Structure 1
Amino acid sequence: MMERMKQLRQMKGDLNDPHNSERITAHARVLAEIEAQQRAAVLDQRERLGIDPDDSVTDLDVEERVAELCDVIAARTPGGPSLAEIWLSRCAPDDLDVSDPAILATYAEMEPGEWQDQIARWADAVRHQAGIEGQADRTLADRHVSAQWGVSLDRFEEAVVEWDRRRAVTDLLAGPSEATEQAIYANTEALA
């Protein structure tokens, strides 16, 4: 009984700090190394066959992948970053300025009514700062979003506000394997 309680405490400690857990990082490393070996094989195949599909697939960094997997685990524990924050910091579209993923995560986690209130607040702030009257809230909020994150309001909604938990988990956990699979298809297509 005491041994079981000790194991449970150890597991809780591991989950609360996955980046410093030997057990969790060891498991993450096994997965990362498998993914990296598969990716390397696909890239080696390209080199040997003299093909260069236009898909920007590169070697997979094992240490970076281990950190990413530990981030996903940390997002599932109390006090850890949110899954939205992890996804935004690692998978957000390139055109979106993600210098502070924690702030962006607050918008990703808003309910539709909260989001509409946020648009109105941004519009009011732009009206006040620029002395603009008579323009729609979305038009003014678009000015704010463009200045803050480098994308239109529509693009911001698509990339951040319409964030989907299932898609995020898939991107974070299966993304490298899916990219390798697509690279295999690209190799086949280049040879056809």
Structure 2
Amino acid sequence: MMTTSATPVQLLMSRRSTKLVRGPGPSDQELAQILQAGMSAPDHGALRPWRYVVIRDEAVGRLADMAIAAVKRTGDPRMTPEKEKNNRTWLAQVPLVLGVAQKSFFDGKIPEHEQMLAVGASVMNVLNAVHMLGYAAFWSTGLGTNVPDVQEALGFDPLEYRFLGFVAIGTPAVDLPTMQRPDFHEFVTEWTGGKPHM
């Protein structure tokens, strides 16, 4: 558990993404907390459209083999030998990966974009919980995220699910400098009933 004198809001604002993680990853108990945090996302219609698949330890290497092979079968020229090596080197250090998918509900009651927003909110809760427990994470939409063979291999039928990538989780491998965030005033206006000033 992270020990800090920061307030919860200060801790939240210190979160940042990094691919540079290594073992150890979260314990089973910590992983349960992380995933349970994902269940607290706002969710119009209580559809619970988020789905996660846990990939850890030796299975991460098998994920690399499967995803790289699937991307190569598509003929994607971006999967160069250097890119393959970089992916394998990165994943060799990662102790835990979560695959993320959206289960699509087509009854017309809740628009699909709201379902996707709920999944994004769930993943954000996961990322915040990871950070608050002293770990680091990186949400990647590479590694064959948009390749149907990868999605199907992880158990997500493309007719029912939209695959949204992988969250790599572990202990930070380096000291992470503080991110310089933009001032919120640049992105916020206040409406008081008249014509807005942008």
Q: TM-score, normalised by structure 2?
A: 0.27
Which structure exhibits the higher relative contact order, with contacts defined as CA atoms closer than 8 Å and separated by 6 or more residues? 2
Q: Which has the higher helix share?
A: 1
Q: Considering only CA atoms, is the larger Rg found in Structure 1 or Structure 2?
A: 1
Q: TM-score, normalised by structure 1?
A: 0.27
Q: Which has the higher strand share?
A: 2
